[in-house]
Chains A and B, each alone.
Chain A
């Protein structure tokens, strides 16, 4: 009994940090979304005006964000699955090395990766100058940078580890025996993949997709640095907490984005569950 209690006390500092720095700010953030700004002064209120604003004036930005984040999350989840499959079933002794590469790129270089893509994809960038130097093209490909493709490439690059780790973790639970049993019972390579491996990795696939979707839907640095004219919702949220000074509107935008993200993730989860039904 004494031990039981000690266990909970040990977790208390972490829990305190969580409550004071997460629950309280998020609760305040929700309240804030119903406030308004009068002549540059934050004023408590109970208005739905900010939400109306989001749905009436910014729905197209929200739609573009969802489209781009969905594309990124689908591509990244697929790539993460292929990579995990490679590491789990095909790489043999190289699996550790592959995973190591994923882990070291997970913790470092968020801003630097985006910057690197900007220097790679530009008109005078690494890719164009290299292609010209090698004689493949004579004039730079101008559509590489400042386009939705550039945003997707960059987002896929830095979110790939977030997809690989959960998918690989769940794939580690799939034993060789299960795979061999499926093959012995006459399942082809693809049938084994579709009816044994994918269903067994459901949790990892959904976790990976969720991580990637949330990270990309809320990103504003990538569209700002490598994106074109079309902005994502993050590019509208960030200035509300800077030059535009409209915290309540920014809070409403953030919360709508989170709700939309949860809805998309729910749909994805349902699709994966449907695919994996027995």
Chain B
């Protein structure tokens, strides 16, 4: 490789990183501005927009809803997805890949279509819209990610360790709890955290299936439509902290790299 080509690639890499990260960095930065507009110059740093955030009407209930939904989605899709991943790993490869492809379909659909289809369905079967309907909807699109991540670990799992536990007299449940689970636990927790990040981040499907009430993204949506203040940056930073934070922990736990 010539020096020139190397330099060119370094520039390309830098441009990509700036393009991908600068909107996020700027968003966080302007949550600490002391001015009322999200632009340059930043005269001084302050926490006024964070103070503004905590007294924003609806902030605390929205925050609580986001956490409740995120936690429930993490637990439900974590459990259900892990079971499915274990099942898929024990199936013939062809069946497993067909089932995996099917379960991934909800992720391929634009969230708008999934959101309005679920809304019409819930209303038609007389299910009252609220947090439970949001949780159900999120589990639908979060479980494929859990399955994908846990399955990637399960296919490298040596089944002989479970077989030896069974040979030594452990029941299937005992073998699972004392052998399988301790081995795959970090991956399962990581996958559940990814599910939580997806859930907390979701705006469109939540918007259509929550009925009344807010989560952090739907609260932000209402605020953006009435005018731009750095309070939105503060709430946005909080959302990013929750979603990107849990993703970073998840990537570290699972060592999942695509």
Of chain A, the residue at the smallest CB distance from B113 is A254
In the complex, what residues of B have CB within 8 A of residue A128's CB?
39
B87 partner, pick from A7, A105, A218, A247, beta carbons under 8 A:
A7
Q: Which of A65-104 contact B (CB under 8 A)?
A: 79, 82-83, 86, 90-91, 94, 96, 98-104
| Known contacts A11-B88, A11-B99, A111-B217; 13 further A-B pairs (Cβ under 8 A) | A10-B83, A28-B120, A29-B121, A83-B16, A101-B21, A102-B20, A109-B244, A112-B239, A119-B30, A119-B228, A157-B19, A165-B258, A221-B203
Of chain A, the residue at the smallest CB distance from B243 is A108
Q: Are B20 and A107 in contact (CB under 8 A)?
A: no
Q: Are B103 and A86 in contact (CB under 8 A)?
A: no
Of chain B, the residue at the smallest CB distance from A22 is B106
Which of the candidate stretches B58-66, B133-141, B181-189 sits at the interface with the other chain?
A: B133-141
Q: Which of A231-275 contact B (CB under 8 A)?
A: 234, 237-238, 240-241, 247, 250-251, 254, 257-258
**Shortest beta-carbon distance, B156 to chain A, in Å?**
16
A15 partner, pick from B99, B116, B220, B240, beta carbons under 8 A:
B99
Secondary structure at the A interface, as helix, strand, loop or mixed, is: helix
In the complex, what residues of B have CB within 8 A of residue A160's CB?
20
Interface string of B23-44 (1 = CB under 8 A from A): 1101100100000011111000
In the complex, what residues of A have CB within 8 A of residue B23's CB?
113, 116-117, 120, 157
Q: Are B121 and A25 in contact (CB under 8 A)?
A: yes
In the complex, what residues of A have CB within 8 A of residue B40's CB?
126, 129-130, 133
Q: Which of A212-228 contact B (CB under 8 A)?
A: 214-215, 217-221, 225
In the complex, what residues of B have CB within 8 A of residue A25's CB?
117-118, 120-121
**Complex alpha-carbon distance, A250 and B236, angstroms:** 30
Interface centre among A217, A218, A234 (most CB of B within 10 A): A218
Q: Are B220 and A215 in contact (CB under 8 A)?
A: no
In the complex, what residues of A have CB within 8 A of residue B197's CB?
107-108
Q: Are A157 and B236 in contact (CB under 8 A)?
A: no
Q: Are B112 and A86 in contact (CB under 8 A)?
A: no
> How many residues of chain A get a CB closer than 8 Å to chain B's CBs?
86
Instruction: Verify if A58 is at the interface (C-beta below 8 Å from B).
Output: no
Given contacts A13-B80, A21-B118, A241-B119, contact A105 B20 (CB under 8 A): yes
A21 partner, pick from B88, B137, B233, beta carbons under 8 A:
B137
**Complex alpha-carbon distance, A98 and B106, angstroms:** 28
Instruction: Verify if B161 is at the interface (C-beta below 8 Å from A).
Output: no
Instruction: Verify if A62 is at the interface (C-beta below 8 Å from B).
Output: no
**Complex alpha-carbon distance, A125 and B26, angstroms:** 11
Interface string of B1-18 (1 = CB under 8 A from A): 000001001001100110
**Shortest beta-carbon distance, B111 to chain A, in Å?**
7
**Complex alpha-carbon distance, A7 and B89, angstroms:** 8
